[in-house]
Structure 1
Amino acid sequence: MKTTTPLGSVSVAALRQYLRAADHKNIDTQSLLTDAGLDPEALPADDARIDGARFQHFIRQLADANSNPILGLETGDYVQPGSYSVLGYITMSCATLGEAIQYIIPYEKLVGDLGITQFFVQDDEMHLVWQCAYTDPIVRTQVIDNVIASWINYARWLGDEPNTRPRAVYLEHRSPGPDYESAYQTRWGCPVHFEASDNRVVAAKSLLDVPLRQPDPNLRRTLEAHAQNQMAGIERHTALLTQVKNAIRHQLLQGVSRQDIVAEQLGMTSRTLQRKLSYEGSSYQKLLDAVRQSLAEDLLGNTELPIPEIAFRLGFSETTSFHRRFKNSAGITPGEYRERHKCAR
């Protein structure tokens, strides 16, 4: 399915997790799906794709109909291996939790263009960080909660360790209020920090060695080959400019921005990439500027991250350069943009 919006596409498997949760709450989703442009009677197979904008519209409709600020958290209770498409079955066949985590970053696009994951180990802790791609402020909060809750629940199921607790969870959105905060604590059994600079699960490094219940290296290799074919199919239906933007976005969130690496990921030389972008009336620098601006607006509007830190994350050596570039594009300074966004919320 060709990507038609900046939100890309999402697997039907991810949608079905929300449908299961709604069904258990006796929420009628037929009209919500129809309103989002999705035929409830003819949803394709779980590994098929739906438009990301329609998925976002459905989640917004579901949240509005339910009037529940922790709907995303509760939908995480309904995660299944199939919720992650073929990636879920790959992780099931891994030998340890650490091995399963290593498959998230290269294959998370199979679940959908929901966001980007980073993983690293620091001292005796492991960190899973997730950057949400969704723009609707209500949907963004629900999707963040869903992703983090699903991670924790699925990791517990994979390792057959239902009582395993993270050391801490950080969420970029505001607290839903004291009446609801206990729901996070009850499920995760650890400190939960709201209005954080990013969305992050921190856990003991030793959990990486937890053995999984169904290791099968032969099956994993077969499934990985299938995943690679699916990834290739998705990329074939994604326009070059979108592919480059996605690659740049992923790089920036990893702290780099290099044209040669992007070109290599797309199977061409840097010169060939530049020539093809020129045919499209663009350039690597234009796309880099566009992605930087989009990420800057996202971080300014949805996190409390200090402006100098945002500038550093986006590859600017000086905050003044970031201020100048942002104002040239948006017409206002980063600080003014943040204040306007706060007033609009």
Structure 2
Amino acid sequence: MEDQVKKLVLSMLAYAVQRDLSVEMLCRLSNVTIAELKEGKAPLSAKQVNDVWLNSVHLTKDDCFGLHFGESLQLSALGIVGEIIKTSDTVGAALTIAASLTPLITDAFCLVLLEDENTFSVKFVPQIAEWEKSPALLQMLDFLMVFVIHELDGLLLKKVRPIAVQYTAGRNHQMEYERVMRCRPEFNQLENAITFDLTYWKEPILSANFELQRILLEKIKPFSGMINGTMTLQTRIYNYLMSNAYLGIISQEEIAANFNLSTRTLQRKLKEEGVNFQQLADEARKALAINYLKSGSYPLKQISYLLGYNETTAFIRTFKRWTGITPAVYQTNNNC
């Protein structure tokens, strides 16, 4: 069975590349090697995993690294969901299976799901005494909580907003937590938990959703394998958009926040490379649109929604500007 801890660390290294870090330095400081992660049979030690977390925070100068890393894995969350829903009838059943898989990546927390009359909650129960004194475990908790939200996005194929998010510990950068969690978290509470509307729990798994997930994962390749070499900022942003925009293009402000940059700094750095964010967003939308259209299975209204357009007519106009023809003609010409 694939070592999920090593897979997680490889994803962290790929995200480090997106953040313009040296993978070699991160590995050296953490006493791990790429060969060990890809081919080694021995599991990583707890210290190695903790050191990857700590050195990632240190090198990025990002106290919210776990939060931003979790935010960057939308398509990976979709991939996990794609496997789970094969044996699930409802969103609640799929989440229950997902929660049971948590020990494959960490023994520091277990996930407990509880229902009441109008809501359901995912509780992140610590399994290690004095865990709040470990910076690495605080980062792991942030990662797990964000990842659960993206798993729910993948099950429903829409962006879900929690009713409440609670942390037992205090946090700095509370506005950034609110942005990523999509609601204002409460800190210094009795438990770590995310609460959602119960209607999500009861929704059936649609076979059409599974088919769209399959197409997304096959046609829109995640960039998790890119751990070698250096990339320009525009390439890193384009890759991020393609890997994390299956429910609409991410805004310039969101990209800047995830990369731990101010919006003005992001704009300046892109200008130095002779491009602006809108150009990159348009290129990503165009590539996504073509992939969706080539699947041949989805109405223009759904494709428009997935690309973040409120009106189908707006998508048709934009696609014609890109290609000179309408989406319908493109599908006909390409036998979609």
Match of 1:192 in 2: 185
Among residues 67, 83, 88, which one is paired with 1:73 in the alignment?
A: 67
The equivalent of 2:140 in structure 1 is 143
* RMSD value, Cα: 3.0
**Letter in structure 1 aligned against 2:11:** Q
TM-superposed deviation, 1:126? 0.3
Query: In structure 2, do the counterparts of structure 1 residues 165 and 58 end up closer, same or farther at CA, with 3 Å as the change threshold?
Result: same
Q: 2:153 aligns with which of 147, 151, 156?
A: 156
Identity of aligned residues (%): 14
1:205 aligns with 2:202: no
Deviation at 1:143, TM superposition (A): 1.2
TM norm structure 2: 0.54
Aligned counterpart in structure 2 of residue 40 of structure 1, from 34, 48, 56: 34
CA distance 1:171–1:204, change in 2 (3 Å)? same
Structure 1: state its 5+ residue gaps.
Answer: 2-8, 217-345
Letter in 2 for 1:166: P
In structure 2, do the counterparts of structure 1 residues 152 and 47 end up closer, same or farther at CA, with 3 Å as the change threshold?
Answer: farther
Equivalence map 1:1-345=2 (5 Å):
11-44=5-38, 49-79=43-73, 88-93=81-86, 94-133=88-127, 135=131, 137-162=134-159, 164-176=160-172, 180-212=173-205, 214=207
Aligned counterparts of 1:204 and 1:48: Cα–Cα separation in 2: 42
Distance 1:47 1:167 in 2: 42
Once residues 157 and 17 of structure 2 are traced to their aligned partners in structure 1, the CA distance between those partners, rounded to angstroms, is: 26
Measure, in 1, the Cα distance between the counterparts of 2:81 and 2:179. Answer: 25
TM-superposed CA distance for 1:100, in Å, is 0.8
Q: Tell me, yes or no, if the aligned pair for 1:170 and 1:193 is still in contact at 8 Å.
A: yes
Using the TM superposition, give the Cα deviation of residue 82 of structure 1 relative to its aligned residue in structure 2, in angstroms. 5.0
Matching residue's letter, 1:54:
Q
CA offsets per residue over residues 29-48 of structure 1, 9 Å max, x none? Answer: 32222332211244226998
One-letter amino acid matched to 1:144: L
Aligned-residue offset at 1:157: 2.1
How far residue 108 of structure 1 moved from its aligned partner, in angstroms, is 2.2
1:217-252 per-residue CA deviation (whole Å, 9 max, x = no partner) reads xxxxxxxxxxxxxxxxxxxxxxxxxxxxxxxxxxxx
1 CA distance for matches of 2:78 and 2:156?
17
Q: Is the CA contact 2:74–2:150 (under 8 Å) kept in the aligned structure 1? A: no
Matched residues in 2 for 1:49 and 1:150: separation?
23
**Contact kept? 1:72, 1:143, Cα under 8 Å:** yes
Give me the whole-angstrom Cα distance separating, in 2, the residues matched to 1:36 and 1:133: 24
Q: Structure 2 CA distance, aligned partners of 1:128 and 1:155?
A: 11
Residues 11, 48 of structure 1: 8 Å contact kept: no
Mapped partners of 1:212, 1:51: distance in 2: 38
Quick one: distance in 2 between partners of 1:16 and 1:83?
Answer: 15
Q: What is the CA-CA distance between 1:71 and the residue it aligns to?
A: 1.1
Whole-angstrom distance in 2 between the partners of 1:181 and 1:109 = 28
- What is residue 327 of structure 1 aligned with on the other side? none
Q: Which amino acid aligns with 2:139?
A: Q
Task: Work out whether residues 76 and 146 of structure 1, in 8 Å CA contact, stay in contact via their aligned partners in 2.
Answer: yes
Query: SS in structure 1 opposite 2:101?
Result: helix
**Number of equivalenced pairs:** 204
